[in-house]
Chains A and B, each alone.
Chain A
């Protein structure tokens, strides 16, 4: 009889064609889906693939997303976007999502992720897929070359760090606050490239998009994957995006066994305040009160981790009927075109515009720092994932990370504020 297995072990064992795996084993896995984008994808992969004289192992298992260099603002970006589109045609890729949103958001939105899958992404925030009970992690372009040539990749079976959240979040406190709190506690490499599994009533009470925010920022915890076992909430989301019931019939069997060995950490959601990470690390986190009266010039709601439909709704709930503080610029880059259309239909986008928001395209935008970024000496509060020095603009830019609730509240007052005072 085998020892009880964690969800991570089960997902890896399945992909490796084994009945079970042990922590520390190095195994070769079959990849069910490979995602890459305009920066990590064709412009890097095609020359290497051509040099090898090799072909894609299975174009049906590839999803290409244009989100980093669109809209192309200069000749270099235009060149990269052109190579990406030309290559998509040459390779006859059936799944290309062009300028319609950020990869980690559009991938599940189009029904590409399902519990039980083993996936890789050419982007560090690929652990987002873990919210759907899929083992998904980020890799670089050369390793992606290996995947698209062979359909396989090695992994070392990770330990599981179980983050158990009990209780219930207060109004105005969200998944981003949970995550910033954990990153502050464990540090940016605290995940030690192991698997995290989020669990407990406060996690299972979250919507899919909120769960995606947890899994997404497992990257900032330095974990390889950030898993959440599928439940009714997962199934409902997947049915809504058109995944057929046949494909979902055994989805909820992907759970950690009772008694599977893991390191468990416990958190009380009731006691969690809104969290803010000061420049220049997501690990510089403290409760919002520590930053009271920190004046801001810019409030930015964007990125895969901070501008999904739920994030836009949260910001609108705070901003409804108000204008942002004089001297503060509010920018909103909805994470996908579909989320923006739904927010438009619900009146959420109008609330944001009425409050003074400038609406930007559905791309990675300033979060990636590849195109337009912030000006010298700007102090920004941002719902994005990373506030490294020099990432979102010159080294003089000060970026504070927070939830969309806190970003909106701070935009209203002109300084970092506790949203709970306004709800």
Chain B
């Protein structure tokens, strides 16, 4: 069971229009997620995959996840232990994929007020910077939060199969 809140999460900050091909480069798509994850975001920040720690969060500009339907774009972040992605807007297709894989996406207009290395807290509704100021986030429907809590659609389907 994944927690729906987090605290003291370290921020990695990225720009706008981070696309699926940057998150999961095509040249590695024939491999399993552990290999793809090693190359996640390497064309914009080569050190990311080797230095990110489980529980860290990504903060990015608008249109995060544009491009392909390849869910490995979200899967690579999950594999690396990224707790959430915080951005003013996401690609709709990436948004579905992320929740289906149990990755929390927070749509936050003021995302870019957060800086590299900041520590952030999420109480299930809003984000807070260490200094205490609030960054409001768009509401997430319960059925998507259930997906995050279950660790993704596969786990949810397993639970449903087990209770049947």
Contacts and interface: CB of A to CB of B under 8 A. Distances in A.
Interface of A: 26, 39-40, 48, 51-54, 69, 76-77, 80, 121-124, 126, 137-143, 145-146, 149, 154, 187-189, 192-193, 219, 222, 224, 281, 368-370, 373, 386, 388-391, 395
A53 B17 CA distance: 39
Nearest to A77: B30
Interface of B: 17, 19, 21-22, 25-27, 29-31, 43, 62-63, 66-71, 74, 89, 91-93, 95-97, 100-101, 141, 143, 152-154, 157-158, 161
Contacts of A139: 69, 93, 96-97
Nearest to B152: A142
Contacts of B152: 142
A368 B95 CA distance: 21
Nearest to A389: B43
Contacts of B31: 76
10 contacts: A52-B154, A77-B30, A139-B97, A140-B74, A141-B71, A189-B89, A222-B91, A369-B27, A389-B43, A390-B43
B37 to A, nearest CB: 15
Contact of B63 (A48, A189, A224): A189
Nearest to B73: A140
Given A76-B31, A80-B30, A369-B21, A142 B63 contact: no
Given A51-B154, A124-B93, A145-B154, A386 B100 contact: no
A390 B22 CA distance: 8
Contacts of B66: 188-189, 222
Given A124-B69, A222-B66, A390 B157 contact: no
B161 A54 contact: yes
Given A139-B97, A143-B100, 20 more contacts: A40-B69, A48-B154, A52-B158, A76-B30, A76-B31, A80-B30, A121-B69, A138-B93, A140-B97, A142-B154, A154-B143, A188-B63, A188-B66, A192-B92, A193-B95, A222-B63, A224-B93, A369-B27, A370-B26, A389-B21
Contacts of A224: 92-93
Contact of B70 (A40, A137, A149): A40
A193 B92 contact: yes
Contacts of A77: 30
Contact of B91 (A126, A154, A189): A189
Instruction: Count chain A CB atoms within 10 A of each CB in B17, B96, B101 and give the residue with the most.
Output: B96
B19 to A, nearest CB: 5
Contacts of B22: 388-390
A391 B70 contact: no
Contact of A391 (B26, B30, B100, B141): B26
A92 B43 CA distance: 41
A140 B92 CA distance: 12
Contacts of A51: 154, 158
A398 to B, nearest CB: 15
A53 B154 CA distance: 12
B76 to A, nearest CB: 13
A283 B142 CA distance: 34
A188 B63 CA distance: 8
A53 B100 contact: no
A146 B153 contact: yes
Contact of B93 (A76, A140, A154, A187): A140
A144 to B, nearest CB: 9
A74 to B, nearest CB: 8
Contacts of A140: 69-71, 74, 93, 96-97, 100-101
A122 B72 CA distance: 13
Contacts of B25: 390
Contacts of A188: 17, 63, 66
Contact of B17 (A39, A145, A146, A281): A281
Contacts of B100: 140, 142-143, 146
B60 to A, nearest CB: 13
Nearest to A368: B26
Contacts of A388: 19, 21-22, 67
Which 4 residue pairs spanning A and B have beta carbons closest together? A193-B92, A140-B71, A369-B26, A140-B97
Nearest to B29: A370
Contacts of B29: 39, 370
A254 to B, nearest CB: 23
B1 to A, nearest CB: 18
Contacts of B19: 388
A143 B154 contact: no
